Structure 1
Amino acid sequence: MTGSGQGGAAPGGEAPALPEGWRLEVHEALPSTSDLLFRRAEAGEPEGLAILARQQTAGRGRAGRAWASPPGNLYLSVLLRPPGPAREAPQWSLLAGVALAEAAAEVVPEAGALRLKWPNDLLRDGAKCAGILAESALTPAGGLAWISLGIGVNLAHAPAVADRPTATLGASTAPEAFAARLLRRLDHWRAVQRAAGFGPVRAAWLRFGPRPGEAVTLRGLDGAGAFAGLAEDGSLLIETDGTRRAIPAGEVLSQGDA
């Protein structure tokens, strides 16, 4: 079963309102929303397509990890076709993180409960409640052909993850309704990025990111460093033994008490 246009309606409700130019396609079940979006992107689908599954049977996260996908949570993949060189692709994961944090803040009342973990997780009180899988393809000239943002949010359930605590947003929000909130924030930040570049996105991310000096542990890095912000290109800045380093890609295992 699918719905399109102004989004597939949530069971028993009206279709959520979407920003102009966006299409929300709703499936009862898919192996993976990102895999279907990949096929649509390669077939030439215009940007603005969002594919939602109420359940996934083969959901995946970073590094090929399985993503548990029980009904009630959000499983959404979004297609963008931004202009720009390939080196800017990681910035779109950070932009999606800002949009996700703002959408979640609309349903989580506690100030300061939501934090972003570089480059792709949303935490609630230090526990993972959402993640972003950003994938991209290049043009023959080396520019961005398309970007897929796969976004999973624990709305109703917090499946266990072996190496970290998990949480839900604790909100009685239907996945379709939350998807519409999220697409509105994505549309906003996409317009900001087009008009003013990555700078405002970077500043917004830092409002939700670790606090200056907060301990950050990265995979493959001995010990923890101190968070020192984001570089202008979105790389993670950490200080260890008085030396500041820029980390362009990687995975933060913990920050603060997370």
Structure 2
Amino acid sequence: MRAGEGPPVPLPRGYRLDDVALIPSTSDACVARAHAGEPDGLAILAAGQTAARGSRGRSWSCPPGNLYLSVLLRPRNAFEAGGAGQWALLVGCALIEALRAFDGAPGLLQLKWPNDVLRDGAKLAGILIDAAMSAEGAVDWLVAGVGANLAVAPAVEGRQTAALVSPSGKPPSPRAVTEVFLARLEAWRGRLADEGFASVRSAWLAAAHPIGTPVTIKDARRSRQGAFAGLSEEGALLLSVAGELGGEITVVSTGDVLLGQEG
């Protein structure tokens, strides 16, 4: 038993965990293994990365003690082949459940569309999805890369960052968080198969910032302001462009989301 962390959590059936010291990028390694035909369930956990990637090609700082993990997933059914954007939300549900299990104030953790976990409004974790699509436009395989500040909150220009705060004051080990995360990921895959994406959407909304939160959407072409109005049935962000609920609703499928005065 690991002090303060409870006993090890068994990996879900079919999952394999490669625990490595230093690697250029866990996601790049998983993508290469996917192209080589690696089956579903490969997870690569690194103590450090030398060429980590964030969303939209950003670099990612990797101080010791934080979580650097990527998981290769191959859709098992039509629900799982639906779309890479929906996978980001499903992975987010699993990740926030895992992080809340180790944080002394789990209520401070919230999801932010499409791929962040916040702690008291500051970025704690992020998700990066790499996917290959079939000729029919369905997901053939995907790699879910997860980075989380378990011990250190590195400085990020233009963003507030936070680290997890455990009840004991001692950061949990990346291995312990990985074990819980993989268990929750598999549980959410089961719910997706049994209940469809609506269950993921509902859980994501329950863990996210409230409806009506002021948001700014930035992409390569423009910046838009409004209020968060929920998610579409497919998982896209709904933006009330009038800045308050009841205004014109725009569906946003991509872009950086800033909450309130963030950034």
Q: TM-score, normalised by structure 1?
A: 0.90
Give CA deviations for 1:8-64 in whole Å, capped at 9, x if unaligned: x9xxx9865211221111100100000000010011111111101111011111111
Provide the residue aligned with 1:46 in structure 2: 39
Tell me if the contact between 2:8 and 2:179 (Cα under 8 Å) persists in the aligned partners: no
Distance 1:125 1:245 in 2: 27
Structure 2: distance between partners of 1:48 and 1:222 = 38
Paired residues, number: 246
Q: Indicate conservation of the 8 Å contact 2:83/2:138, yes or no.
A: no
Q: Percent sequence identity over matched residues?
A: 49
Q: Distance in 1 between matches of 2:18 and 2:8?
A: 11
Q: Note if 1:177 corresponds to 2:176.
A: yes
Q: Does 1:92 align with 2:87?
A: yes
1:64-103 map, 5 Å: 64-82=57-75, 83-84=77-78, 88-103=83-98
1:143 corresponds, among 129, 138, 145, to: 138
TM superposition shift of 1:219: 0.6
Note closer, same or farther for the CA distance 1:128–1:15 as it changes in structure 2 (3 Å cut). same
* Mapping of residues 107-146 of structure 1, within 5 Å: 107-146=102-141
Relative to structure 1, the CA distance from residue 184 to residue 257 in structure 2 (aligned partners, 3 Å threshold; closer, same or farther) is farther
Aligned to 1:247: 252
User: What letter is aligned with 2:156?
Assistant: V
Contact 1:137 1:144 in 2 (8 A): yes
> Secondary structure of the residue that 2:159 maps to in structure 1?
coil
Amino acid at match of 2:233: E
1:86 positional shift: 6.6
Distance 1:75 1:240 in 2: 36
- Equivalent AA in structure 2 for residue 216 of structure 1: V
Aligned partner of 2:230 in structure 1 is 229
Amino acid at match of 2:132: A
The secondary structure found in structure 1 opposite 2:83 is: helix
CA distance 1:257–1:99, change in 2 (3 Å): farther
Aligned match of 1:238 = 239
User: Mind listing any 5+ residue stretches in structure 2 that lack a counterpart?
Assistant: none
Are the counterparts in 2 of residues 127 and 167 from structure 1 also a CA contact under 8 Å? yes
Question: Map of 1:203-214 to 2, 5 A cutoff?
Answer: 203-214=202-213
Contact conserved, 1:86 with 1:138, CA < 8 A, in 2? no
SS in 2 for 1:158: coil
2:161 maps to what in 1?
Answer: 166
1:87, CA displacement in angstroms? 5.7
Deviates more, 1:229-238 or 1:78-87: 78-87
Paired residue type of 1:251:
D
Q: Which runs of 5+ in 1 are unaligned?
A: 1-8
Deviation larger for 218-227 or 171-180: 218-227
CA distance in 1, matches of 2:84, 2:64: 30
Matched residue type, 2:203: A
Q: Distance in 2 between matches of 1:27 and 1:111?
A: 29
What is the one-letter code of the residue matched to 1:210?
H
Cα distance in 1 between the residues matched to 2:148 and 2:162: 10
Could you tell me how far 1:140 is from its partner in structure 2?
A: 3.5
Residues 96-150 of structure 1 show CA distances to partners (whole Å, capped at 9, x for unaligned) of: 0111111111112325301111000000001001000011002244332101100
Q: TM-score, normalised by structure 2?
A: 0.88
Task: Please give the residue correspondences for 1:12-51 in structure 2 after superposition, counting only pairs within 5 Å.
Answer: 16-51=9-44
CA distance in 2, matches of 1:150, 1:219: 22
